[in-house]
Every structure is written in C-alpha cells, then in structure tokens.
C-alpha cells in the first residue's frame, strides 16, 4: 500500500519563496542569469538546487543524506548543469 506524506509544509514554503522573490527580486524571474555560463548566479543556483534535492531525499526517505559525494567524479562523463 502506498504511503503518502503531508507535503503542505513544502507547498507553503514554495508559496513563501515565490512571494519573497516577487517582493525582493522580481527581475530574477525574467533575467535568468543562472543560465549564463561563468556567473556567480549559476554557481549559487546549482548549490541551491543540490541542497533542495538533498532535502527532498531526506523528506522522502526519512533519513539523513550525507553531504559527501557518494559517487566517483569522472569529468569525461559529467553532465552539463543547466
């Protein structure tokens, strides 16, 4: 039987962040500087995305997710982050 989690806290946080962005940096919704190679915005976007994925994994598995890489980094097979 499927186990469903209460995601209302996540939905509320999305709503809060959306409101914050609209109030504090509405231009960020149009500029999309995180797509520009070599910008600090791109680095921070990827860092934030990584942290969010860790949080999702922790939420879905009810477990701690290590901040250490659990894979071997191979530059020849790395994926482009965009």
Is residue 45 situated within a structural domain?
A: yes
Is residue 12 situated within a structural domain?
A: no
- Domain span including residue 42: 38-63
Tally of residues, the chain: 82
Question: Per-residue pLDDT tens for 5-63?
Answer: 788 888 999 999 999 999 999 998 888 888 889 999 999 999 999 999 999 898 888 87
Is residue 26 situated within a structural domain?
A: no
Q: Which pLDDT score, from 0 to 100, does residue 65 have? A: 52
pLDDT band (50, 70, 90) for residue 80: very low
Is residue 43 situated within a structural domain?
A: yes
Count of structural domains, the chain: 1
- Residue 5's alpha-carbon distances to 14, 15, 48, 57, 82, in angstroms, are 16, 18, 23, 13, 29
Better pLDDT: 78 or 66: 66
pLDDT band (50, 70, 90) for residue 66: low
Is residue 8 situated within a structural domain?
A: no
């Amino acid at each position: 039987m499927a186990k469903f989690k209460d995601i209302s806290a996540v939905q509320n946080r999305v709503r809060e962040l959306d409101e914050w962005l609209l109030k504090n940096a509405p231009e960020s919704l149009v500029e999309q500087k995180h797509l520009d190679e070599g910008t600090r915005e791109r680095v921070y976007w990827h860092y934030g995305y990584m942290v969010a994925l860790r949080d999702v994994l922790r939420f879905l598995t009810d477990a701690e997710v290590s901040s250490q890489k659990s894979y071997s980094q191979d530059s020849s097979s790395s994926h482009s982050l965009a």
